[in-house]
Structure 1
Amino acid sequence: MSSEPVPSACLDCRARHEGICAVLSPSELRHLARNARHTRHDAGEGLALESGEINGYANVTNGAVKLSRVLRDGRQQLVGLQFAPDLMGRLFRAESPLSAEAASDVELCRFPRGVLEALVASSSNLKQRLLDQSLHDLDEAREWMVTLGRKSAAERVASLLLLVAKRSGRGSADSVAFDMPIGRADMADFLGLTIETVSRQVSKLRHSGVIAVSGHRHVKVLSLRALKDRAG
């Protein structure tokens, strides 16, 4: 086991403990850190353009990123959300298949494309971690197909709240709080519902005591068990 020190900027980073950096050796981590830059972005700021050239990748270290596709007639479809410690960017592809936008205030740890791809080529541990994450993303995408294809409006809204609670919520085993990274319009887009339907379902969850909402987007799940039941 190497006794080489880990870069100080990496010590409390979720990507170091839960993301791709968790499988890097101290020397690999230091190499990545030397080539990394930390950036902050306001909510609504564009982070990547669909069909834009990919020059680098980034670990999400704080906040949430929304991923979308744009149709030829200009219609936009929200297709995913990313949270810490997700890796933003499509490896080994010349152009981005999706647009990325800061859903909330976001912090990223960015590194050049060549640096990460060289690490992937030389590290079997990193290859396995990326494969595991890709399969996990595939499982989540298939689960979301079930949500959109078979679940009721009430179940869809509960499923989205449960997803965000699991990824960014803080609290106890059965009660967590989080700031919803997207508004009602994006929620409706993501769930294939109208804004009015989303608002109705959120109100029903509030009135039944499953969640509490304060301010514009602060949500407290009063019972995760009840929310899971509502999510079907």
Structure 2
Amino acid sequence: MQQRHSPFDIGRIAGLSPAQERERGEAGSPCGACSVRHLTFCAPLGEEEFDHVTRIVQNVELHPGDPLFDEGEEATHLYSVTAGAVKVYKLLPDGRRQIIGFLFAGDFLGLAADESYAYSAEAVTHASLCRFPRRKLEALLERFPRMERRLLGMASHELAVAQEQMLLLGRKTAREKIASFLLTLGQRSAYRGQAANPVSVPMSRNDIGDYLGLTTETVSRTFTQLRQSGLIALLPAGRVELLEIDALRSIAEGS
């Protein structure tokens, strides 16, 4: 594919298990049982287009902490998350880590303007992903414009998310950042057809800090303050109940 596809690399999209060919469902398609197809770039595809995609896809399973790829590694594959959570990050010159995003079911990653990945990716939870050979997928994008348009739309959305993160890092207080983060997680859960409240927060306090530009101690203290104020409740299994959504929105907006 030609350089014209470089806008897809927006700098955000966070031991790799051996790829396995996906089992074929009743309809003969390895993707026939996919429950998140409506969220992925496959959503608008017709049967002919979808059939070509299923011929090149492989399944990858990751355990928490497993790396998917490293920054600077040759970008030979692209990925679509089908379950679980993945974090993407960059290592700063001073050795610190800046998490630039958390990806969930339906999110796409690995798009690159050149031959190498612009960031590293690692599983937050047990995660399942579809893996596509980059050259073969690029050939399909050339052949089927609807796939290309879908990816462009997803890239545009990720650009908006990246711009929102810049606002979080640059102008908001710790309290405003955490409130914004929780509300955004709820919105993303609703988009995936899951419960928006309680919010699933599978990442560690350290990961949240590396995403929002806060220390782990500040993240923990802010969660405690919001809980003591009656705005949230901390539930088992990494869930957070938003008790006063309007108040949290006001905090997030700095009002």
TM-score of the two chains, using structure 2 as the length reference: 0.80
Where does the alignment leave 5 or more consecutive residues of structure 1 unmatched? none
User: Aligned residue pairs: how many?
Assistant: 224
SS in 2 for 1:176: coil
Aligned counterpart, 2:57: 36
Query: Is the contact made by 1:69 and 1:98 (CA closer than 8 Å) also made in structure 2?
Result: yes
Q: For residue 90 of structure 1, what is the amino acid of its counterpart?
A: L
Deviation at residue 11 of structure 1 after TM alignment: 4.5
Query: Is the contact made by 1:180 and 1:218 (CA closer than 8 Å) also made in structure 2?
Result: yes
Match of 1:187 among 187, 201, 208: 208
Q: For residue 207 of structure 2, what is the amino acid of its counterpart?
A: D
Q: C-alpha separation between the residues in 1 aligned to 2:121 and 2:221?
A: 28
Deviation at residue 223 of structure 1 after TM alignment: 4.1
**Aligned runs of 1:11-50 on 2, under 5 Å?**
11-14=33-36, 16-50=37-71
Deviation at residue 82 of structure 1 after TM alignment: 1.1
Aligned counterpart, 2:132: 111
Deviation string, structure 1 residues 181-225 (Cα, Å, up to 9, x no partner): 211111112111122221121112212332211236222223433
Determine whether 1:164 maps to 2:185.
Answer: yes
Aligned counterpart, 1:145: 166
Indicate the percent of aligned positions where both proteins have the same amino acid. 38
Q: C-alpha separation between the residues in 2 aligned to 1:134 and 1:58?
A: 14
Deviation at residue 8 of structure 1 after TM alignment: 6.3
Q: For residue 85 of structure 2, what is the amino acid of its counterpart?
A: A
Aligned counterpart, 1:85: 106
Determine whether 1:136 maps to 2:141.
Answer: no
Q: C-alpha separation between the residues in 1 aligned to 2:66 and 2:124?
A: 8
Deviation string, structure 1 residues 81-136 (Cα, Å, up to 9, x no partner): 11110112114531000000001111111121122111111122122212212221
Q: For residue 150 of structure 1, what is the amino acid of its counterpart?
A: R
Determine whether 1:56 maps to 2:77.
Answer: yes
Aligned counterpart, 1:7: 29
CA distance 1:107–1:178, change in 2 (3 Å): farther
Higher strand share: 1
Where does the alignment leave 5 or more consecutive residues of structure 2 unmatched? 1-26
* Bigger mean CA deviation after superposition, 59-68 or 190-199: 190-199
Match of 2:248 among 215, 227, 231: 227
Match of 1:95 among 112, 116, 119: 116
Query: Is the contact made by 1:6 and 1:30 (CA closer than 8 Å) also made in structure 2?
Result: no
CA distance 1:92–1:26, change in 2 (3 Å): farther
TM-score of the two chains, using structure 1 as the length reference: 0.88
Aligned-pair Cα RMSD in Å: 2.0
Query: Is the contact made by 1:64 and 1:104 (CA closer than 8 Å) also made in structure 2?
Result: yes
